[in-house]
Structure 1
Amino acid sequence: MAAGQLVLALAHDVPTAVAARVLVGAGDAMTFISVLRVVSFWFPGTVVPLITQLTGILGQLGSVLAAYPLVAMLHGTSWETTFLGAAAMGLLVAVLVLVALRDAPGGTVRGPAVSLAHLRATLGETWREPGTRIGLYTHLVTQFSGTVFALLWGYPFLVVGQGLSPGTAAGLLTLLVLVGMGVGPLLGRLCGRWPLRRSVLVFSILGATATAWTVVLLWPGRAPLPLLVALVVVLGTNGPGSMIGFDYARTENPAERMGSASGVVNVGGFVASLLTILAIGAVLDVLTPGGSTDYELSAFRAAFAVQYVFWAIGLVGVLRHRRELRARLARDGVVLAPLGVAVRARLRGGSAYR
């Protein structure tokens, strides 16, 4: 990531800046996956989902807190100085990690170095594991709608399409982040307590998200503010919900495949988010003549309807690979009890499966 920030500081044209941003994104992805692996070694399995959610929240807080000094430096100095400083901070953190962080507790058995051929074979085994694939589709189906709304299209939809003031729209986007911070630990605890019922959480988040969007998109005229608040609150669950995908990867793969499995899962939501962002923009351009950005509400409705395609893809993927995963668990002797029985058993301190 520090290398990307260094290139960004020295960039004098768009292609170089884009390459630098790719490096920053790649660094972020590898850092997050590595953190998930470290967490799995240092905490007991029932607590890992909660720590994973807290890790995501800390990352969000870091992004928010870092924005203020970054903006101040941009105003007070220059682009080059600002991002050289960011690169220097990245190098400092890297040194601190090398000095102070241990990958695993003492006594943990480390596997031997792997060859490229072994790595390819491991990736194949990782992909064939239904737990990895249900994790990928879980990440896809729960993440993209909230990400698309928060990163790009939510603000113009609220201001241009729904007629809200910029301040109100900004407040709703802030609410989305706050809801995610509050919901994350709850989902983490639920995953740790009922690990064989994680798909229920996935379907609940998907159902709530699709329902909220359907009501907003079908509302005659501009939606009332309480309805938009409800939509944003539901979208706030999307980010924490996508973390359930990593929990599937962790519990259904051996330790030596955990990193590759998390990497596969991480692809799902971001690919869907990127494609949805592009599709929404394409529909808006087609329905708005003359290259104007003064989009009509009807154009936004048609554009945001592309989400149903990705929800359908994600739902089919989750259902298919959940069936495969449960078949494998049954062959291993794990048979799920009915949901009501499992809940009552858990409340009595028993097992969630029989």
Structure 2
Amino acid sequence: MSPTAPPSVPRRQAILVWGVALSAYVASVFHRSSLGVTGVEATQRFEISAATLATLTVAQLGVYALMQVPVGMLLDRYGSRRLLVTGGALMIAGQLGFALVTDVRLAVAARILVGLGDAMTFISVLRIVAYWFPGRRNPLLVQLTGTLGQLGAVFGAVPLVLLLEHTGWTTAFLTVAGVSSAILLVVVATIRDSPGRVAVTVAATTPPGGLLAAAWAQPGTRLGLWTHFVCQFSGSVFALLWGFPFLVQGQGLTPTAAATLLTVLTLGMLVTGPAVAYLCGRFPRHRSVLVFAIVGLTAATWAVVLAWPGRAPGWLLVVLALVLAFNGPGSLIGFDFVRTFNPVNRIGSATGIVNVGGFVAAIILVLAVGVVLDLATPAGQNVPDLDAYRWAFALQYVLWAVGVVQVLRWRNAARRRYDGPQASLDRPEAVLVGGGGGRFASGNDRRHRRFSGVAAVRRRGASARRRRKV
């Protein structure tokens, strides 16, 4: 059945559904980032080294990345509501386990549960945006979702540190699980996959591998994947695990000051997210240029911090945090490419593919930093020094080089598939969903529906079809 939406959706109802879904994503970001400010305590609780501490985050992010494609396929088949409920329950179970266990192997299992639940949340919220709002609002709402979701990292910084200091490890994480249970109940009561009684399991009659293969074959999907890869990992790794130890052990900040700096990073996204969304909408032909600008600015700022003689001054660390605040919004440009180049019935599969990129890069960097810190820490010294952190964070430049080359490659491929080098990368494929009465990947507003009978893909060896110009 076609997933066409009713002619009009009550604005308040759409905002309510999106707001509740967003609260589920805020909770998932909190769970994801909760280890970032508790890393020092975790090494003491589980009596582990830096490399072993990295395995906790790698287990969580690894499961998250591995599950993106399967979850995307499940999302196209079963809809957002079921996945949000399942994901929330898994994260609560993981945090309950993390609160109670003292063996590192059980702690890894608990973080795996958190990663499984987290994997189901963000792309489910993006699919709700695609079904409840017209396409012209998608870039802003995707950025707002990703940006406001980072409030979970704010709650996972100073408030979690204070809770740990005053109540201890077990009580703090039990409190986290309790709050998340309340959010899950609201999700169950409020979330619907689409307006009215419209069926959204549009992939039920399509072989799962068919949607996945079609999404992967689209150069725009791969452009989104590498965009997510090259933009996300630096800020993500800094916020999720290694930023806090770097600031405390390498730069000599107090735990509260370090947590505050991570909060500055997160709050900075509240400004950079809407700014990036505006630029994407205003200059759709130059979204990849914006990606390169964000990567270049991040790499240059890190170069100054790492090359600074001795510990970096406070103002420079604040600048670093503010620059890293562009990383998350920059990675979300990858999902805007998904919206542009894929029809709505394969949004889940394409989004899952793209979401793998940044987290694979983050996993590589998390592991590499942990290994280098262990190798570069002087013998007989338990805490890595500043030089060890410098060598470890210098590994980022390898990932940036790989990512930039791939973004260039697939940007050019996407342009060649359409009108050549000057093609707009904002032209959607007009692939009908479920036959007549379908809609475009970029939305269901009237402006797009007027062209719902026009194909926008010119395939090699086939006669040119009529295409919509934007």
TM-score (norm 2): 0.64
The structural deviation recorded for 1:245 is: 1.1
How many residues get paired?
336
Asked if structure 2 preserves the Cα contact closer than 8 Å seen for 1:40 and 1:48, the reply is yes
**Residues 70 and 30 (structure 1 numbering): CA distance in 2 closer, same or farther, change over 3 Å?**
farther
Which protein is richer in helix relative to its size?
A: 1
Asked if structure 1 preserves the Cα contact closer than 8 Å seen for 2:250 and 2:384, the reply is yes
Asked if structure 2 preserves the Cα contact closer than 8 Å seen for 1:140 and 1:270, the reply is yes
The aligned counterpart of 2:273 is 184
For 1:160 and 1:70, how far apart are their aligned partners in 2? 16
For 2:129 and 2:178, how far apart are their aligned partners in 1? 26
Instruction: Report SS of the residue matched to 2:384.
Output: coil
The aligned counterpart of 1:144 is 233
Q: Which runs of 5+ in 1 are unaligned?
A: 338-352
For 1:43 and 1:25, how far apart are their aligned partners in 2? 28
For 1:240 and 1:143, how far apart are their aligned partners in 2? 8
Asked if structure 1 preserves the Cα contact closer than 8 Å seen for 2:93 and 2:113, the reply is no
For 1:291 and 1:264, how far apart are their aligned partners in 2? 44
The structural deviation recorded for 1:159 is: 3.0
The aligned counterpart of 1:252 is 341
The structural deviation recorded for 1:110 is: 4.4
The aligned counterpart of 2:187 is 97
User: Which residue type is aligned with residue 193 of structure 1?
Assistant: R
User: Which residue type is aligned with residue 151 of structure 2?
Assistant: L
State the Cα deviation string for residues 222-252 of structure 1 (Å, max 9, x = none). Answer: 3333222222211111111111111111211
The structural deviation recorded for 1:6 is: 2.8
User: Which residue type is aligned with residue 313 of structure 1?
Assistant: V
Q: Does 1:3 align with 2:90?
A: yes
The structural deviation recorded for 1:218 is: 2.1
The aligned counterpart of 2:139 is 49
The structural deviation recorded for 1:143 is: 0.7
Asked if structure 2 preserves the Cα contact closer than 8 Å seen for 1:173 and 1:232, the reply is yes
Q: Does 1:21 align with 2:111?
A: yes
Instruction: Report SS of the residue matched to 1:18.
Output: helix
Q: Does 1:168 align with 2:254?
A: no
**Residues 153 and 249 (structure 1 numbering): CA distance in 2 closer, same or farther, change over 3 Å?**
same
The aligned counterpart of 2:209 is 120
For 2:376 and 2:156, how far apart are their aligned partners in 1? 38
Asked if structure 1 preserves the Cα contact closer than 8 Å seen for 2:227 and 2:333, the reply is yes
Asked if structure 1 preserves the Cα contact closer than 8 Å seen for 2:378 and 2:384, the reply is no
**Residues 299 and 45 (structure 1 numbering): CA distance in 2 closer, same or farther, change over 3 Å?**
same
The aligned counterpart of 2:423 is 335
State the Cα deviation string for residues 37-64 of structure 1 (Å, max 9, x = none). Answer: 1101222223212111222233222454
Asked if structure 2 preserves the Cα contact closer than 8 Å seen for 1:7 and 1:16, the reply is no
The aligned counterpart of 1:344 is none
For 2:259 and 2:149, how far apart are their aligned partners in 1? 20
State the Cα deviation string for residues 146-166 of structure 1 (Å, max 9, x = none). Answer: 111122222232233233444
State the Cα deviation string for residues 129-172 of structure 1 (Å, max 9, x = none). Answer: 11111111111111110111122222232233233444433332
User: Which residue type is aligned with residue 96 of structure 2?
Assistant: A
Q: Which of these residues, 188, 207, 212, is aligned with residue 296 of structure 2?
A: 207
User: After the TM superposition, which of the residue ranges 85-94 and 273-282 deviates more from structure 2?
Assistant: 85-94
The aligned counterpart of 1:301 is 390
State the Cα deviation string for residues 6-39 of structure 1 (Å, max 9, x = none). Answer: 3553564443442232222222221210110110
**Residues 293 and 191 (structure 1 numbering): CA distance in 2 closer, same or farther, change over 3 Å?**
farther
The aligned counterpart of 2:369 is 280
The structural deviation recorded for 1:262 is: 0.9
Asked if structure 2 preserves the Cα contact closer than 8 Å seen for 1:46 and 1:193, the reply is no
Asked if structure 1 preserves the Cα contact closer than 8 Å seen for 2:284 and 2:424, the reply is no
The aligned counterpart of 1:322 is 411
Instruction: Report SS of the residue matched to 1:50.
Output: helix
TM-score (norm 1): 0.83
**Residues 291 and 319 (structure 1 numbering): CA distance in 2 closer, same or farther, change over 3 Å?**
farther
State the Cα deviation string for residues 163-187 of structure 1 (Å, max 9, x = none). Answer: 3444433332221111112111111
For 1:63 and 1:174, how far apart are their aligned partners in 2? 7
For 1:231 and 1:326, how far apart are their aligned partners in 2? 34
The aligned counterpart of 1:349 is none
